[in-house]
Amino acid sequence: MTVFSAQTLERIQYAAEIIRKSQRGVVLTGAGISTPSGIPDFRSEGTGLWSRVDPMEVATLNAFRYAPEQFYQWIRPLAVKIFAAEPNPAHRAFAQLQAAGYFKTIITQNIDNLHQKAGCSYVLETHGTFQTMSCTQCFKQISSQGFIEPYLKDGQIPYCPDCGGILKLDIILFGEQLPLQTWYESQAACRNCDLILVAGSSLEVLPVAGLPLQALDRGAHLIIVNHSPTYLSVRADVVILEDVAEIIPMIAERVLHE
């Protein structure tokens, strides 16, 4: 276990005090909360997925329309890791805090379903999900269960059982709008919260990166736990530049048991 400085421990304690006093807390998570579960992020230099391939060649909506096979070939290694991954202590700590009533809403940029696996009950997936697919011809949305297993195992591209069109995973590609209802609910949660806790997000990807600003502009507290600073670090009540899988459980322990 990492030995943290006295300053970091003080910040953990202060974060816990803010959470205990909040009435309408919101959590916003990014890729950094899932990297401890073995899921690579997209932007880290040398290890991120975009360091090895141009996203404009494989991960845009137009690229999928013209070459869906290339997209499915590219994303398969990531999909295998996602479906094999298990929640880490940060996911489980947020589930405990949510169950105790400190956070009603968890907004995530991740597509890995790990918050739900950990037991979280209300999760807004702003960048979509692997759990459903939509037909590119008849637009029917169906569960990915039954289609994802042959794809993960043998690389079989999924086709619509009704019309035969290629099924697209319901994850948001470049050039594609965010899920409208999810986005409305995310904005409403941030505009009405009195605390937003950002965990594992560099706050670089718009429009989700602007959500904490909506909360701040209405007087909410801001806690940031991330490996690197963000554009809102100067406005945060607490900034902890450490591993979320270690820090979030320590905060939760203080909130729930002190």
196/250 same-domain check: yes
pLDDT per position as a tens digit, 19-57: 999 999 999 999 999 999 999 875 544 444 544 556 667
Q: Give the model's pLDDT for residue 47.
A: 42
- Asked whether residue 136 falls in the same domain as residue 69, the answer is yes
CB 101 within 8 A of CB 124: no
Q: Which residues are catalytic?
A: 127
Q: Find out whether 165 and 136 touch, Cβ atoms under 8 Å.
A: yes
Q: Does 106 share its domain with 229?
A: yes
Same domain, 209 and 257: yes
Segments forming the whole domain that contains residue 236 = 1-39+87-127+178-258
One domain, residues 242 and 122: yes
* Global pTM value: 0.92
Task: Calculate the CA 119 to chain-centre distance.
Answer: 15
pLDDT digits (tens, 9 = 90+) for 195-248: 999 999 999 999 999 999 999 999 999 999 999 999 999 999 999 999 999 999
Q: Do residues 30 and 55 share a domain?
A: no
Q: Are 166 and 151 in contact (CB under 8 A)?
A: no
CATH of the domain at 71: 3.30.1600.10
In this prediction, residue 48 carries a pLDDT of: 45
Domain boundary among 118, 137, 171: 171
Query: For the domain that residue 224 is a member of, what is the CATH number?
Result: 3.40.50.1220
Domains: count for the chain: 2
Environment class of residue 67 by beta-carbon count within 10 Å: exposed (0-12), middle (13-18) or buried (19+)?
A: middle
